[in-house]
């Protein structure tokens, strides 16, 4: 692009953004696979050069360059230097408070690009913490971001949690992730037309469904890393249950992600077992095991859920009152399984489950789902 003026470069980048937005995953891979490293390296060079100019009237060009670069998911040995430019640049673009459609689109693009900085990339707190916190708090007060923009802001922040456990209190207690995620999930669940096939959806309907899928991805990351228990996490699990019941029989991808989230919650203990039982999570997973279209991946996650709950219920305590509660809950849990006819079946897999996990890892064709459907 050296032969073009800066204005022409900006126009070309905008045109490229439009083309990339219209590509599906296969088309994107075909176009960029051959020249991927060269293209990523060139964007890095252009970003560094543009940042050094420090010209306020060309900030939009730097923003476009940063968004294009992150859309490539290309990370070289220079990623540390590039990230220190990209993150402040895009957070500044995402902090615009104007509410007209064009400004809102720019904010959404900036946050969506930031959410591509995955959990493996370390970003220093001074580059983002104040700004991302303010963006989230402003949204909580004014509700001016799109669903996708807000989800992208949270995904960027949750990914930072993987490298920095000091963020736990800010995310869970100051910014109330559980409450906010539950509210967004409930609203998106109402907005999605569950009876429509993907090809029948309008662009806006498809976007809402995509945002719901992305929220479930964010939840899995949060549940995996978070060790704080609070009532908002209970809200979150209840929202996942409601999504599953809306998606069951209509959307296999979302149904699977819901079961996976419940499995993760059962393992890492972000809520008590009693909340899984009372909030409908146990019933939901049992429903998942009874679907006529059940496949092995779903069944595997259902089994993991029950294995995880069972392990937690077997942990005895020295406190007499807590021990009595544990025994009573254990009784209720297995009564629930017995009502559905799964107690003996699940118990029989308890000791063998690690072996079964090894078989799945090797890709052996073990049709365990067919067995459970026929039990």
Per-residue pLDDT of the chain in tens (375 residues, 90 and over written 9): 555 676 777 777 777 777 766 666 666 666 555 556 777 888 888 898 888 887 665 678 899 999 989 988 777 777 888 999 999 999 999 998 887 888 899 999 999 999 999 998 999 999 999 999 999 999 999 999 999 999 999 999 999 998 898 999 999 999 999 999 999 999 999 988 888 888 888 888 889 999 999 999 999 889 888 877 788 889 999 999 999 999 988 888 899 999 999 999 998 888 888 888 888 899 899 888 877 766 778 888 888 888 888 888 888 887 788 888 888 888 888 787 777 666 655 655 555 555 555 544 444 444 555 545 444
Residue 50: other Cβ atoms inside 10 A? 22
* Contacting residues for 163 by C-beta, under 8 A, at least 6 apart: 119, 122, 123
Q: Nearest to residue 243, comparing CAs of 269, 215, 267, 224?
A: 215
Residue 212's nearest CA partner among 185, 234, 179 is 185
pTM (2 d.p.): 0.81
Two structure tokens written together for 245: 């019941």
- Distance in angstroms (rounded) separating the CA atoms of residues 35 and 16: 15
What is residue 314's predicted lDDT score, i.e. its pLDDT?
83
For residue 366, the model assigns a pLDDT of 47
Contact status, residue 48 vs residue 85, Cβ threshold 8 Å: yes
pLDDT given at position 171:
93
> What number of helices (H) and strands (E) belong to the chain?
20, 0
For residues 173 and 186, the answer to whether their CB atoms sit within 8 Å is no
Contact 285, 305 (CB under 8 A): yes
């Amino acid at each position: 692009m050296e032969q073009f003026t800066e204005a022409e470069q900006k126009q070309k980048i905008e045109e490229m953004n439009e083309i990339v937005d219209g590509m599906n995953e296969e088309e994107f891979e075909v176009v960029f696979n051959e020249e991927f490293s060269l293209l990523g390296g060139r964007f890095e060079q252009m970003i560094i050069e543009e940042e050094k100019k420090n010209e306020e009237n060309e900030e939009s060009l730097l923003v476009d360059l940063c968004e294009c670069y992150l859309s490539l998911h290309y990370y070289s040995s220079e990623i540390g230097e590039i990230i220190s430019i990209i993150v402040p640049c895009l957070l500044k673009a995402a902090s615009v408070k104007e509410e007209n459609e064009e400004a809102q689109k720019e904010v959404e693009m900036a946050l969506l690009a930031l959410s591509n900085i995955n959990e493996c990339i370390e970003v220093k707190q001074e580059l983002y913490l104040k700004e991302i916190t303010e963006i989230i708090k402003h949204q909580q007060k004014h509700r001016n971001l799109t669903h996708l923009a807000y989800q992208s802001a949270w995904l960027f922040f949750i990914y930072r949690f993987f490298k920095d456990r000091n963020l736990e209190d800010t995310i869970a207690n100051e910014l109330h992730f559980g409450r906010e995620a539950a509210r967004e999930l409930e609203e998106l669940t109402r907005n999605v037309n569950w009876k429509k096939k993907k090809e029948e959806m309008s662009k806006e309907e498809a976007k809402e469904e995509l945002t719901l899928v992305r929220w479930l991805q964010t939840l899995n990351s949060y549940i995996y890393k978070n060790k704080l228990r609070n009532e908002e996490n209970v809200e979150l699990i209840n929202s996942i249950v409601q999504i599953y019941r809306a998606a069951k029989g209509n959307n296999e991808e979302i149904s699977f992600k819901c079961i996976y989230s419940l499995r993760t919650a059962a393992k890492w203990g972000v809520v008590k077992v009693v909340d899984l039982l009372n909030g409908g999570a146990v019933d939901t997973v049992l429903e998942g095991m009874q679907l006529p279209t059940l496949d092995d991946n779903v069944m595997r996650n259902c089994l993991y859920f029950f294995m995880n709950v069972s392990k937690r219920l077997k942990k005895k305590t020295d406190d007499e009152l807590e021990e009595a509660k544990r025994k009573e809950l254990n009784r209720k849990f297995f009564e629930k399984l017995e009502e559905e006819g799964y107690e003996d079946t699940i118990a029989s897999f308890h000791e063998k489950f690690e072996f079964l996990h090894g078989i799945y890892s090797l890709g052996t064709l073990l049709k365990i789902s067919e067995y459970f459907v026929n039990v």
